[in-house]
Structure 1
Amino acid sequence: MQANWREGDWAVYRKSKQGATPGRRASQVIASSKGETYRYVVDKFWVVDEVLPDGRLRLITARGKVHTIESDDPNLRRPGFLQKLLWRERFAVVEASRDNVSHSERQTGAVGA
């Protein structure tokens, strides 16, 4: 269980996807039986916007989308020291997005799709 998340913490979320053309950041790519589609995972770089009273996390993406997930979700992890160095530009984009969207807009769900 991931404990002690705080507002502003960097987070990496491993998201499962399916499609005809996996992107360059796709990993664990598995072709369907006929090879028409692929299942794969992509690392998403998010920042903790708020730790909710029930322990769930409100995370914000580089495009300003908001996701609320359990703090112990197995797909959620903290980046290690080396990953922080390698991915610092990605997290800087997310932090800039977070700064551009007011807290009230995030709470009302005005940020979006």
Structure 2
Amino acid sequence: MTLAANQFQRNDWVIYRKQKSSVSPGPRASEVHAAGKGNSYRYVVEKYWVVEEVLDDDRLKICTRRGKRHLVDANDPSMRKARWWERLLYRSRFEAIDLNSPVSHEDEIESPAS
């Protein structure tokens, strides 16, 4: 494991800054910019996830509030541990994640870019 993978442990609360685009950004969108010819917008949304498992290949299996699982490189610059004040402010978002929920065979582990 690399140094980046060693900084994460199971149950760590992390924030992932996900790039998105649509015709109408939601209320949590930040860094909103018109895309291309101005028909849509590009923006960033912060996602509040919990580390489910630290894998040997320097990837993290993380769980979303809705129970989806993603594999994320531990060195991904879009992901970081939640700061102490974010843990307080967004506590309900992190606590809504149930790491014990079963993953069905239909559930795929996705890359967060999808």
Alignment-mate amino acid for residue 11 of structure 2: G
Alignment deviations for residues 34-87 of structure 1 (CA, whole Å, 9 cap, x no partner): 322000000001000000111210000011111001101000001111111101
CA distance in 2, matches of 1:53, 1:32: 38
Taking structure 2 as the reference length, the TM-score comes to 0.84
Question: What's 1:111 paired with?
Answer: 107
Closer/same/farther in 2, CA of residues 83 and 35 from structure 1, 3 Å limit: same
Tell me the CA shift for residue 31 of structure 1.
1.1
Closer/same/farther in 2, CA of residues 86 and 33 from structure 1, 3 Å limit: same
Alignment-mate amino acid for residue 73 of structure 2: E
Alignment-mate amino acid for residue 91 of structure 1: F
The 5 A counterparts of 1:40-51 are 40-51=43-54
- Give the number of equivalent residue pairs: 106
Identify unmatched segments of 5+ residues in structure 1. Answer: none
Instruction: Tell me the SS of whatever aligns to 2:75.
Output: coil
Identify unmatched segments of 5+ residues in structure 2. Answer: none
CA distance in 1, matches of 2:26, 2:55: 33
Question: What's 1:90 paired with?
Answer: 93
For 2:77, which of 74, 79, 90 is the aligned residue?
74
Alignment deviations for residues 79-107 of structure 1 (CA, whole Å, 9 cap, x no partner): 1111111010100111x3x23x13xx37x
Percent same amino acid at aligned positions?
41
For 2:34, which of 31, 34, 40 is the aligned residue?
31
Question: What's 2:56 paired with?
Answer: 53
CA distance in 1, matches of 2:106, 2:35: 37
CA distance in 2, matches of 1:49, 1:33: 37
More helix by share: 1
Taking structure 1 as the reference length, the TM-score comes to 0.84
Does residue 16 in structure 1 map to residue 12 in structure 2? no
Alignment-mate amino acid for residue 63 of structure 1: R
